[in-house]
Amino acid sequence: MASAQDGKLIGTAGLVQLEGSGGGGIVPWATLVGYDSQDQISVNVVATQVDVDDYRLNVLGLSASFYDRVEISVAQHRFDLKGAGVDIKQNIYAVKYRIYGDVVYSNWPQISVGAQHKVLADESIASALGAHKTSSGTDFYIAATKVHLGAIAGYNAVWNLTARATQANEMGLLGYGGINNNDYEVMLEASAGILFSRHFAVGIEYRQKPDNLGLGEDDWKDLFVTYIPSKNLAITLAWADLGTIAGASGQDGLYLSLNGQLW
């Protein structure tokens, strides 16, 4: 079997987002993690930290893409309330299926559907805040992604649109549903970026979020810079604006992610 190093163009496989799925930083894309083509398999690892005023999120993940068609992943969240000695753990098991297209070569965007099943190990805070469910929940999404070669002053450009059906409060870290709503809602997410070379990209992202608990949960935004020295490694640094989390406003700070392809 050919190595996944011989697959897609460097920089077109995307990254690994906070829930372990292939995508940007905070948004899952239609891309499958890794550079595998139709006769290849790739395996990736990711380590991410988001450090804002009152909280710190650490993410470790492992993902695999099979024959440029199916992606599976597992990720663990450790959400630290600074100074409070509280550490919330959550495991995420995800799958994604490419149903159409290629981000570079098809006329229309690549389209994928996915699901992220989240299991909350520490339920006490979610329960105290009034979450309707505190054990587990599942998000479902459909994403469209397209790379346009030489589109902006000769540089490659990428965009993504995702629609997510969710009940999750703060990605599920604070449970599911609450006083304002217990039903699934469709949230919109988007990313856009420019690849200034094969190894360097900048972009922005936006993620709409529900406010089920009535605590003023805000939409998320980030501005990112990614360096891709090889297909084995991508380093992303971002400024993340997460707004209000569990009633604490002004939660913004640094996002750092290391994404490595093992094979």
Averaged pLDDT for residues 226-234: 93
Tell me which amino acid residue 65 is. Answer: S
Beta-carbon count within 10 A of 121 CB: 13
pLDDT (tens digit per residue) in 118-132 = 999 989 999 999 999
- Average pLDDT of the chain to the nearest whole number: 93
> How far is 182 from 204, CA to CA, in rounded Å?
30
With 60 as the cut, is the pLDDT of residue 42 above it? yes
What band does 7 get if pLDDT is binned at 50, 70 and 90? Answer: low
Q: Quick one: pLDDT at residue 1?
A: 41
Token pair of 173, please?
């870290």
Q: Helix, strand or coil for residue 196?
A: strand
CA 6 to chain centre: 25
Token pair of 263, please?
């094979």
pLDDT (tens digit per residue) in 67-107 = 999 999 999 999 998 877 788 999 999 999 999 999 999 99
Identify any residues that bridge with 254 across adjacent strands, giving them in sequence order. 51, 239
203 HSE (CA, 13 A, CB side): 28
pLDDT (tens digit per residue) in 130-172 = 999 999 999 999 999 999 999 999 999 999 999 999 999 999 9
Q: Check: CB of residue 15 under 8 Å from CB of residue 226.
A: yes
Q: Helix, strand or coil for residue 127?
A: helix
Q: Check: CB of residue 263 under 8 Å from CB of residue 3.
A: yes
Q: Quick one: pLDDT at residue 28?
A: 97
> How far is 56 from 125, CA to CA, in rounded Å?
16
With 80 as the cut, is the pLDDT of residue 5 above it? no
> How far is 155 from 168, CA to CA, in rounded Å?
37
Buried residues in 171-181 as b, exposed as e (16+ CB within 10 A): bbbbbbbbeee
